[in-house]
Amino acid sequence: MNDYLFSNYARFDVAFVRGQGSYLYDTEQKAYLDFASGIAVSALGHQHPALSQALKAQVDQFLHCSNLYRIPQQEALAELLCQHSFADKVLFCNSGLEANEAALKLVRKYQHQRGTPEKQRFLAVGGAFHGRSLALIGASPEGKMIEGFTPLPDWFDLAPADDLDALEAAINPETAAIILEPLQGDGGGIHLFSAEYLQGVRALCEQYDILLVFDEIQCGNGRTGKLWCHEYSAVEPDIMTTAKGLGGGMPIGALLARAEIAEAMTAGSHGTTFGGNPLACSAGLAVMQELIKPDFLAEIRIRGEQLSTALQGLVAEYPHLCTEQLGIGLMQGLRCTAEITNIAVVSAGLKAGLLLVPAGRNVVRFLPPLTVSEGEITQAMTLLQTSLSELSQ
């Protein structure tokens, strides 16, 4: 391992040198089926022609332009996102964390502008993961995320997941917004909220005159088989954040909002040097143009059903190792029993040539490229079955 890097990542001892489609290749040219996708980032897999061509074309023009000036690629991507969502306005940044930070600022600025500055607190639910900034770790205050970083900014109130009564009880006169992931990834371990729960959350926001923020950083951009995960519940937020798959590998984040809320962010109230730069937005355009093609999302739902069925079969075959299949589309999980850790399963998969991602609640995440084929899912399940068989011995 490199002696010159911080030790804040528990890295696996493998380095990749190239990728193609759903595969990555290490320094020894060993092939790995990539069901991690850079943690749901490589939405179109590796070296997708449309994405590669868009990036090469922009590199041949120029890389960066300040937000002091108009950026046509940014304007085009914002228009596309608004045309295919609830939103009227988009603010670009570099990551999901930055998008969530901007969302918090927007909520407070909006409440201030409308004459309710006392509404300044945020309500999050159990299993949340909204980023690792000093402010946002307050939404999931447990374990290594907060160890050594306290006292935290006192901005968040918390309620258990899936409990509308507890959520309502946590609302107070200072509550400005509820923030949650429609499908929790890291912290909640692939926990999908029901349509009934999200509809109840929306009703509480209306009743108490507070905003609803959906964090679709991981579960958005087609990952679940809908362009946005909240579409399954027929609930629209007031504000949404997204990132990860939006750039297909390029760093980009986006904050989407309804016009009357977005108007609170006046000139000088927020900014970014690199956010929405031409290169990142060229990538975002290429990804979005693929996602909205006819049948693209429908194919994700078909592949998701295939993956769900296969994982449920493994639960039945290895009940001493796996307890349940979780998630939807191409954001799924396999919950492990107390007999084995998710890291052990991920490590065994790596050895077999299958890349997986650990998550909370002792869950293994499956996040293949959205372009994954039927045969590649079959191959991944064969590799996983071999790994589980070896672990059960």
- Taking the C-alpha atoms of residue 55 and residue 279, their distance in angstroms, rounded to an integer, is 6
Let me know: does 79 contact 73? Beta carbons within 8 Å.
no
In this prediction, the residues of the chain whose per-residue pLDDT falls under 50 are none
Burial group, residue 78, by CB count within 10 angstroms (0-12, 13-18, 19+): buried
The CA distances from residue 263 to 282, 359, 387, in Å, are 26, 37, 53
Q: What is the pLDDT of residue 393?
A: 81
Encode pLDDT of 182-200 as tens digits. 999 999 999 999 999 999 9
Listing from the earlier edge strand, what are the strands of the sheet with 357-359?
322-328, 331-336, 363-366, 357-359
**What CATH fold (topology level) applies to the domain 16-34+295-391?**
Aspartate Aminotransferase, domain 1 (3.90.1150)
Phi and psi at 26, nearest 5°, equal -90, -175
Phi and psi at 31, nearest 5°, equal -90, 140
Q: What is the pLDDT of residue 126?
A: 95
Distance of CA 376 to the CA centre of its chain: 23
Please give the structure tokens belonging to residue 214.
Answer: 């959906």
DSSP helix/strand/coil, 21: strand
| Apex 234 CA angle, 329 and 242, nearest 5 | 60
**% of the chain at pLDDT higher than 70:** 100
Please give the structure tokens belonging to residue 135.
Answer: 């402010």
The CA distances from residue 191 to 125, 130, 299, 315, 335, in Å, are 12, 14, 22, 17, 11
Phi and psi at 88, nearest 5°, equal -110, -25
- Taking the C-alpha atoms of residue 180 and residue 140, their distance in angstroms, rounded to an integer, is 11
Q: What is the pLDDT of residue 141?
A: 77
Please give the structure tokens belonging to residue 88.
Answer: 């009227």
Domain(s) labelled CATH 3.90.1150.10 in the chain stretch across: 16-34+295-391
Domain(s) labelled CATH 3.40.640.10 in the chain stretch across: 50-291
Q: What is the pLDDT of residue 63?
A: 96
Angle (deg, nearest 10), helices 72-83 and 278-291: 30
Please give the structure tokens belonging to residue 118.
Answer: 């006392």
Q: What is the pLDDT of residue 1?
A: 63
Q: What is the pLDDT of residue 142?
A: 77
pTM, whole model, 2 decimals? 0.97
Let me know: does 43 contact 369? Beta carbons within 8 Å.
yes
| Apex 303 CA angle, 298 and 309, nearest 5 | 130
* Residue type, position 78, single letter: A
| CATH class for the region spanning 50-291 | alpha beta
DSSP 8-state assignment for residue 306? H
Let me know: does 367 contact 40? Beta carbons within 8 Å.
yes
Calculate the CA dihedral of residues 373, 375, 376, 378 and round it to 10 degrees: 130
Who contacts 331 (Cβ-Cβ below 8 Å, separation ≥6)?
Answer: 40, 183, 185, 190, 218, 219, 223, 224, 365, 366, 367
- Taking the C-alpha atoms of residue 85 and residue 76, their distance in angstroms, rounded to an integer, is 14
The CA distances from residue 388 to 23, 129, 321, 361, 376, in Å, are 21, 28, 8, 18, 18
